[in-house]
Every structure is written in C-alpha cells, then in structure tokens.
Amino acid sequence: VQLQASGGGLVQAGGSLRLSCAASGRTFSRYIMGWFRQAPGKERECVAAINWSGDNTYYSDSVKGRFTISRDNAKNTVYLQMNSLKPEDTGIYYCAGRIAARITTTNYDYWGQGTLVTVSS
C-alpha cells in the first residue's frame, strides 16, 4: 500500500488542523493505521492509531482529548483531527500502516512522506 499524507500547515496555538492520509490499494481496510509525530530533536512517536473497523483507537497521553483519529475505508483515507493545538505539537506527521491482529504502536511496514505541522505561540 502507498500512503500520501496532507493537511499540514502553520497554525496559532489553540487552533485546529485536520490531516488526511490517502492510501492506494484494495486492501486498505485490512490495515491498522497510525499517525506518528517527529518533533525537532525528539524521537518519532505514535500519537494515534486505529483498527481496521474504526471502533478501537489509541492515543498518546500528550494528545488524548485533543486529537481524534478516524478512517473511511470506502475512501481509503485515514484522518487526524487536531484541536487545541499547542506549540509542542509542532513536528512532521507521518501516517503509517501495517496488518496486525490488534492496535499497535510499533513495527509499521508502510509509511507516507510526512506533512509538517507548525504551531506558533
């Protein structure tokens, strides 16, 4: 599967952005999908993940209550709605996918190219 992330940009603290990740291929619905963030000088971390049906999600503590991951299997797209953005949310956001029995934050096989989110204070 090939992944194309979009939707990043510059936003003021407290604002919102919605990231999208479009996937190619007919097996998208089989994939666990995740959003990862690489902040300047930090390791890449998984901020959100969703199972194939969309009824099970994971959020890191740093984004819980502010970000929402969702997917539309008919459109082969996964989304990350980001609200109440903070300067520490700044980073490159990557979408990723893998086939797994349950949500996981590691060992993803397929990666998009990343989209930059910058939150100004």
Convert the pLDDT of each residue in 18-42 to its tens digit.
999 999 977 888 899 999 999 999 9
DSSP tag of 25: S
CA torsion 33→39→43→46, rounded to 10°?
-20
Convert the pLDDT of each residue in 53-73 to its tens digit.
999 999 999 999 999 999 999
Q: Given the structure tokens 């996964």, which residue do they identify?
A: 78
